[in-house]
Structure 1
Amino acid sequence: MMPQAVDVLCIGSVLWDIIGRSSSHMRAGSDVPGRITRIPGGVAMNIAMALKAYGMQPALLSTVGRDPEGEELVAACARLGMVTTHLYRSEDLPTDTYMAVEGGNGLIAAIADAHSLEQAGAKILRPLESGTLKGWAGIIALDGNLTEALLSDIAVSETFARTDLRIAPASPGKAERLTPFLHAGRATLYVNLEEANLLLRESHGTAADAARALVGRGVHRVLVTNGGDAAACGSQSGTFTAQPREVMVTRVTGAGDTFMAAHIAAEAKGAAPDAALERALEAAAIYVSGETY
């Protein structure tokens, strides 16, 4: 039997985030003072941590190695309140890592070493397909770090047919992996304008235009953000927008994950669609500015 405490399944990347941050504006070759942190991360993990902060109980479905880094990561996730019992623990795959450098002018560069997640493939879904989570009909937050082949299977899988499926591409470079969901008629997509345009293979200047175009391609529902400009939520019932609050940006890695988690939590608590979008934008503004609630 699945634990009653679990409210949402977070599927995708769970790894170590190594983030270097400096307040200085940077360019290629810059060597500046700053801070370097190592914390549990990955898109699925970031979403899960934000959901936990908003009062929901997430369970993680991913792969984590049995190397020392993996043992330390699972212990850290458990201390943060994550349900880790459904993780696929590989004997021969190393624990994944993400490294990013951020300056006062935003993200400078990042490398995602998520090869173990890709190699594990459908093994991370075993609890849903034949294990203790079989028959799950609740919320699933899924990230685009999975392979395109596996995402294509999920787009038509009966295992996910009754779920409330929410998907983020993980990065612009992986946006096109979500192509199978353009015509699947299921899932809510969370993308920024760049990712939306890559997915559409078109150029739209506003979040609202991109949202309408994605719905026109068959997307069930989509939320499109655009930095400090208006964000949009589109579905077959129409498109509406909301303007984010202007803030000073001090960090960017994880902002999209915070937005997605806040939106999921707001809707889970019964917020109307427009209110849920506004709450998600406010949560993202607080995150990137470094403010506290």
Structure 2
Amino acid sequence: MSGQPDILCIGAMLWDVIGRAPRRMAPGADVPGRIRHIPGGVALNVAVALSRWGLVPAVLSAVGRDPEGEALVAEARRLGVLTQWLARDTGLPTDCYMGIEDSEGLIAAVADAHSLEEAGDRILQPLADELAGWTAPVVLDGNLTEDLLARIARDPRLAVADLRVVPASPGKAERLEPLIAARRGCFYLNRLEAEILAGDACPDAASAAAAVVRRGAARVLVTDGPYPAADAIANGPTLTLTPPAVTVARVTGAGDCFLAAHLAAELKGNAREAALRQAVEASAAHVSGKDVP
């Protein structure tokens, strides 16, 4: 694939190794199930989902020259993602994520994104070359280090870009603090991540989103599993919408699907209500095992 992208996704591009059991699992359980190896990482997940919505995304990340990296790049291209601006010659291996899910959702996960973290701002070099003068949307994920996110918040190469920010996991939510302090970006969080950034427990997505807005964020969208999702903005009303009830077939990637569907709707000029509805419905469909759209 070649050509110019209409959106950049900056962050993790790796292999997901997902083990799923069809029933509840107790700590230490050893049960039969299915194990899948699929392309993953927040940046790549969002890019693949955006491609399904008819957009042309590119990923800025670090991917090794090892066999895993070659296979990952080939699969990303097949899925409609531009990969020519990846940092490939870092001498680092391709990253990996391992998750365990049961019938109720995610039990535990380990994300090995050390190569991305060590590559640092080398992944941003295309913004000074072929992608200089970037003004279109940019998705940032919390697998980037806090230092790099702080530099991005001040980077003149992205000064006018529409930043869409996702923490990647509750454990990395605090990495987004520099972007909140700089009042940059629209944030996509689950309720636990929002509570971490708000510094307090919240009873629902709407109160959590509003709390992060009070911290300084201009706009915050919060999901809460099967409970209502929320879209809060500074000096405006908070919207809520309850997802349709579905049977859980998978959970990894649901938040990335939500972000992609929401951004795709807004890029087509949809109002806040319509964009939130598309995001909620797309995320629920993903959890049920369907590809969206």
TM-score class, shorter: over 0.9
Aligned partner of 2:189 in structure 1 is 191
1:224 aligns with 2:225: no
CA contact (8 A) 1:10 1:45 kept: yes
Distance in 1 between the 2:185 and 2:90 partners?
33
1:160 aligns with 2:152: no
Aligned partner of 1:233 in structure 2 is 231
Secondary structure, counterpart of 1:90 in structure 2: coil
The alpha-carbon deviation at position 154 of structure 1 amounts to 1.1
Aligned partner of 1:61 in structure 2 is 60
The alpha-carbon deviation at position 183 of structure 1 amounts to 2.2
1:50 aligns with 2:49: yes
Distance in 2 between the 1:79 and 1:289 partners?
24
Aligned partner of 2:17 in structure 1 is 18
Letter in 2 for 1:145: N
The alpha-carbon deviation at position 203 of structure 1 amounts to 1.1
**What is the aligned residue count?**
290
Encode CA deviations 1:71-124: one digit per residue, 9 max, x unaligned.
111111112121000000034211000111111121111111110000000000
Distance in 1 between the 2:232 and 2:154 partners?
22
TM-score (norm 2): 0.96
Distance in 2 between the 1:32 and 1:265 partners?
39
1:113-132 matched pairs, under 5 angstroms: 113-128=112-127, 130-132=128-130
The alpha-carbon deviation at position 267 of structure 1 amounts to 0.5
1:284 aligns with 2:245: no
Distance in 2 between the 1:134 and 1:121 partners?
18
The alpha-carbon deviation at position 163 of structure 1 amounts to 0.4
CA contact (8 A) 1:228 1:246 kept: yes
Distance in 2 between the 1:231 and 1:278 partners?
10
Distance in 2 between the 1:167 and 1:69 partners?
27
The alpha-carbon deviation at position 217 of structure 1 amounts to 1.4
CA contact (8 A) 1:231 1:243 kept: yes
Identity over the aligned pairs, expressed in percent?
56
Q: Which runs of 4+ in 1 moved over 4 A?
A: none
Distance in 1 between the 2:133 and 2:218 partners?
22
Aligned partner of 1:105 in structure 2 is 104
Secondary structure, counterpart of 1:39 in structure 2: strand
CA contact (8 A) 2:63 2:95 kept: yes
Correspondent of 1:178 among 155, 162, 176: 176
Distance in 2 between the 1:87 and 1:291 partners?
29
Aligned partner of 1:246 in structure 2 is 245
Letter in 1 for 2:147: A
Aligned partner of 1:86 in structure 2 is 85
CA contact (8 A) 1:145 1:169 kept: yes
Letter in 1 for 2:130: T
Structure 1 residues 152, 91: closer, same or farther in 2, change over 3 A? closer
Aligned partner of 1:31 in structure 2 is 30
Secondary structure, counterpart of 1:231 in structure 2: strand
Aligned partner of 2:3 in structure 1 is 3
Letter in 2 for 1:47: V
Which one is further off, 149-158 or 276-285?
149-158
Gaps of 5+ in 2: none
Gaps of 5+ in 1: none
Aligned partner of 1:212 in structure 2 is 210
Letter in 2 for 1:177: R
CA contact (8 A) 1:24 1:32 kept: no
The alpha-carbon deviation at position 237 of structure 1 amounts to 3.3
Secondary structure, counterpart of 2:107 in structure 1: strand
TM-score (norm 1): 0.96
Encode CA deviations 1:230-270: one digit per residue, 9 max, x unaligned.
11111123221111111111210000000000000011111
CA contact (8 A) 1:27 1:108 kept: no
Secondary structure, counterpart of 2:32 in structure 1: coil
Secondary structure, counterpart of 1:190 in structure 2: strand
Secondary structure, counterpart of 1:59 in structure 2: strand
